[in-house]
Structure 1
Amino acid sequence: MKMVMGYIAGLLFGLGLAISGMTDPARVLGFLDIAGAWDPTLMFVLGGAVVTSFIGYRLVFKRSGPLFGERFQLPTKKDLDAKLLGGAALFGIGWGLSGYCPGPAIASVSGLTIPLAAMLIAMVVGWFAARIVTR
C-alpha cells in the first residue's frame, strides 16, 4: 500500500505541475528574468505549495503515526555543509540554465525535446557523479 500511495502522490504532483504550467521551462526562465519580461507565475505556485505544506504538516503531525507506514521519516541532519551548499548551487545553476528542475523534467518526458533530453542526461550523470564524490 505504501508504494501505491507513493505512486498516487507522484501522479498528483505531476498533474499539479502540468496544470500550473511549470512543465514549461519558459515560465521558469521568465520568473528568473526579473529585469526583462518577468513572469510571476512560479511565485504563486511556490506560495501555494508553502501554504499547503504548512497546513498539511500541522494536520499530519496531530496523528500518532502515518496512515501507510510504521513511523514518520523526517531528516535528522540539520547542519549546512559543503555537500549541501554545493548541491544546492549546482541545482540552481542547472535550473536557471535549463528552466527545468527534476519534477517538471520527468513530468515533461512525454513531450521530449533535445534540451529536455540533455537536462535529463546531465541529471543522471550528476546522480552518479555525486555517489562517487560523496563516498
Structure 2
Amino acid sequence: MMNHAIAARRIAVAVAAVGLFTVTTTACATGPTSRKEVCERYDSLGDRIGIGGVFGNPVFWAAGELADVADRYEGPEDLSADAERLDTISDSDETSVPELSQATGSIATLCGHPLGLGSTLPST
C-alpha cells in the first residue's frame, strides 16, 4: 500500500508541474508583437467592458494581456506608456471605462477606434 501512495503522490506532483509549466509559458510570452496582435487584445478588452462600467476579473486579465502585447510591440508607434498604465490597472482592484480609455490612447489610434466602440479593420 505504501508504494501506491508514493506513486499517487508522484503522479500528482507531475501533473502539477505540467500545469505550472503551461501557465508560466502561456502567461510569459516573449518576442515582438504585431499591430494585429495588439488590436486583437484591444478589441478583446473592449468586449469585456459593460455599458458605463467595468465588471469582474476578466477585464483586469484582458488589461494585463494587452499591456504585455503593447509592451512588446515593435511598430513605429510607441505604446510603452499605454502598456505601463494598463499594467497598473491590471494589478488594481477597480477601474472605470474612462480610465481604461485614457490608458489606451495610443493603442486606440493604432487600431483606429475608441475602446469598446467598433472593431479593428485589417490594415491595408
TM value normalised by structure 2: 0.28
Higher helix share: 1
Report 1 or 2 for greater relative contact order, CA contacts < 8 Å, sequence distance ≥ 6: 1
